């Protein structure tokens, strides 16, 4: 039991900076979706003489705020699919 609690405490301590780093500097964006973009990124790595290639897709929405500024927001694939141009962000992500 003590080991489990110690492990959970360690995970919490290590994860806290990552979670606060994502949210502390960026304020929540609200507005209208005016653009959508995907970016497919691939990396090739060599290990023991073999090449391996890994790819992932990043999903991004461009949101126009009430003040008229446009901000790019990284979202999940499901939020990307749920939010059409002209939709209200972040409301469109909670379907």
Domain ranges of the chain: 29-94
Rounded Cα gap, residues 38 and 44, in angstroms = 20
Spatial distance between the Cα atoms of 6 and 87, rounded to a whole number of angstroms = 45
Could you tell me the two tokens for 1?
A: 């039991």
Model pLDDT for residues 61-77, shown as the tens digit of each residue: 999 999 999 999 999 99
- At residue 28 the predicted structure's pLDDT band, cuts being 50, 70 and 90, is confident
What is the pLDDT at residue 3? 59
The model scores a pTM over 0.85? no
| Percent of all residues in the chain with a pLDDT value above 90, rounded to a whole number | 57
Q: 74 or 49: whose pLDDT is higher? A: 74
Q: Tell which CATH architecture fits domain 29-94.
A: Beta Barrel (2.40)
């Amino acid at each position: 039991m003590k080991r489990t609690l110690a492990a959970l405490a360690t995970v919490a301590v290590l994860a806290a900076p990552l979670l606060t780093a994502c949210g502390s500097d960026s304020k929540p964006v609200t507005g209208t979706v005016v653009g959508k973009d995907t970016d497919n990124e691939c990396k090739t790595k060599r290990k023991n003489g073999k090449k391996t290639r890994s790819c992932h897709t990043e999903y991004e929405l461009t949101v126009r705020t009430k003040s008229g500024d446009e901000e790019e927001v990284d979202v999940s694939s499901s939020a990307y699919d749920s939010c059409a141009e002209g939709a209200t962000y972040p409301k469109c992500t909670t379907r």
